[in-house]
Amino acid sequence: MYQPLADRLRPNSIDEVVGQRHILGEQGVLRRIIQGGNIPNLIFYGPSGTGKTTVAEIAAAQMHRPFHRLNATTASLADIKAITADVGTLLAPEGVVLYLDEIQYFNKKQQQSLLEFMETGKLTLIAATTENPYFYIYNAVLSRATVFAFQPVSPEEVLPVVLRGIREMSQDRQGRVRWEEGVAEHIARSCGGDVRKALNAVEALFAAHAMDRGETVLTLAEAQVVAQRSANRYDRDGDSHYDILSAFQKSVRGSDPDAAVHYLARLLEAGDLISPCRRLMVMASEDVGLAYPQAVAVVKACVDSANMLGLPEARIPLAQAAIFLATAPKSNSAILAVEGALADLRAGRTGEVPPHLRDAHYEGAAQLGHGTGYQYAHGYPNHYVKQQYLPDALKNQTYYTYGENKTEQAAKQYWDRIKGEG
């Protein structure tokens, strides 16, 4: 019977698990919890192929309880009821261990069905998710479990597993197997920290030589084909999407053009044109803003060009926009001003529009006092006259503070001079 290579090489002990030294190392908290045998409800969060299922099975083996495994993409309430029905019976007098993969696909009712048994300790839940549990798992479940984050495995840690996989597959061959220099290293680098993906690539490499007779030669060119594009972790609806966009904006805000281009490239390599275009337009106002007001027009032109060209040519104007924003002077004075105004409104700090600012372009407005006393700024020297514009309740409020950049300081000096004469 066929058994996937990743399953054949699945670790049977904590010491065999690849990576996750931060939680499974000699003094790792999760390691000590598992070794202690008294395992609480756990939630494993992290990318695919980083050992979540393997560690769950090792943990369950320490508890000596019936072990059940469900995948939330296909499981139902009936499946949960069938498992919990055994709790307290001769089949499971001490309770059960449930490994629930992809728990984020369970709705609120399905997740809540576990609570009664989790609380009494009759069911130990070990759940796994590739999505942020604080977004997808309900608070009642989270409050009864401990979350452990699994990280992508480094290429240095994946390499020995790849070599072991090659040796394992070689044993199935009649003839000699050899591989070109760099084959294993390329697969280890290209798997994006996903050990399962690396072993699948090894398996695919051997499958391409299924008809070989005599010596089998695994080439670097073939390895590059079976492992292509896999190092770029990206899911348009998942955490990686928002993490990359966040890093993109923070790199531009931090004036690092190299990092900005790197994260832009990751978005474009995944075929995502819309997200970087939108984010660049946001950054032009949020992060460069009044330090270089023309940034909006420049970035809009680059974004329009990118959308007209489409990928792959779109990468050129978008790279231009990203580098332009990263190297431009920065100011967040505009967003601070509008956020301050919104905060007052949401807190109920508002007021009536002053009568002299109200619309006076209709018959009877004068009888209501609307527009009375308004001073037309263009009729005064320098197009300025001092008068109240904010409502009475906010008349002394300041929302906008000039940034320390050249452009805003020039405007400040101008208005200090003009208003000093008013």
Q: Is-contact 144 118, C-beta < 8 A?
A: yes
Shared domain for 133 and 32, answered yes or no, is: yes
Start-to-end C-alpha separation, the chain: 91
Confidence of residue 195 (pLDDT cuts 50, 70, 90): very high
Confidence of residue 422 (pLDDT cuts 50, 70, 90): very low
d(CA 345, CA 341): 6
220 occurs within a structural domain: yes
Shared domain for 85 and 123, answered yes or no, is: yes
pLDDT at 171: 85
Structural domain count, the chain: 4
pLDDT at 367: 81
83 occurs within a structural domain: yes
Long-range contacts of 396-402 (CB under 8 A, 24+ apart): 397/344, 399/336, 399/337, 399/338, 399/340, 399/341, 400/333, 400/334, 400/336, 400/337, 401/333, 401/336, 401/337, 402/333
What angle in degrees, to the nearest 10, is found between the helix axes of 257-269 and 239-253? Answer: 150
Shared domain for 201 and 261, answered yes or no, is: no
| Helix or strand holding residue 43 (H, E) | strand 42-45
Q: Name beta bridge partners: 146.
A: 42
Locate all alpha helices (DSSP H) within 39-120, ordered by sequence.
52-63, 77-84, 108-112, 115-120
pLDDT at 238: 57
Which residue is associated with the tokens 């508002």? 350
Asked if pLDDT for residue 156 goes beyond 50, the answer is yes
7 occurs within a structural domain: no
The mean-pLDDT minimum among 136-145, 213-222, 228-237 falls in: 228-237
pLDDT in tens, 83-124: 878 776 766 667 788 899 999 999 888 888 888 888 877 888
Shared domain for 100 and 145, answered yes or no, is: yes
pLDDT in tens, 72-82: 999 888 888 88
Shared domain for 212 and 163, answered yes or no, is: yes
Shared domain for 245 and 222, answered yes or no, is: no
Where among 198, 226, 254 does a domain terminate?
226
CATH number where 207 lies: 1.10.8.60
**Looking at residues 11-18, what average pLDDT do you find?**
92
Asked if pLDDT for residue 239 goes beyond 70, the answer is no
12 occurs within a structural domain: no
Q: How many residues does the chain have?
A: 422
pLDDT at 231: 53
38 occurs within a structural domain: yes
Q: Name beta bridge partners: 148.
A: 44
d(CA 350, CA 291): 29
**Looking at residues 2-9, what average pLDDT do you find?**
87
Q: Is-contact 295 325, C-beta < 8 A?
A: yes
6 occurs within a structural domain: no
| Helix or strand holding residue 69 (H, E) | strand 67-71
Shared domain for 257 and 319, answered yes or no, is: yes
pLDDT at 150: 93
Nearest 5 degrees, angle CA 318-CA 320-CA 326? 100
Confidence of residue 328 (pLDDT cuts 50, 70, 90): very high
What whole-number percentage of the chain has pLDDT above 90? Answer: 58
pLDDT at 11: 92
User: What is the domain extent for residue 410?
Assistant: 348-421
140 occurs within a structural domain: yes
Name the token pair of 142: 């989270």
**Looking at residues 35-44, what average pLDDT do you find?**
90
8 occurs within a structural domain: no
d(CA 179, CA 225): 15
CATH number where 408 lies: 1.10.3710.10
Whose CA is closest to 164, among 113, 202, 220, 107?
Answer: 202
CATH number where 248 lies: 1.20.272.10
Confidence of residue 232 (pLDDT cuts 50, 70, 90): low
**Looking at residues 231-259, what average pLDDT do you find?**
81
Where among 94, 129, 149 does a domain terminate?
149
d(CA 394, CA 74): 57
What angle in degrees, to the nearest 10, is found between the helix axes of 274-283 and 315-327? Answer: 20
Amino acid at 252: V
Peptide bond into 312 cis (omega under 30): yes
Shared domain for 168 and 267, answered yes or no, is: no
Where among 205, 226, 247 does a domain terminate?
226
The mean-pLDDT minimum among 43-47, 316-320, 336-340 falls in: 43-47
Q: List the helix and strand counts (H, then E) for the chain.
A: 21, 7
Shared domain for 193 and 208, answered yes or no, is: yes
Confidence of residue 193 (pLDDT cuts 50, 70, 90): confident
What pTM does this model have?
0.68
Which residue is associated with the tokens 């072990």? 67
Shared domain for 107 and 145, answered yes or no, is: yes
Shared domain for 249 and 279, answered yes or no, is: yes
Shared domain for 212 and 319, answered yes or no, is: no
Name the token pair of 404: 């320390």
CATH number where 113 lies: 3.40.50.300
| Helix or strand holding residue 99 (H, E) | strand 96-101
Mean pLDDT over the full length of the chain: 89
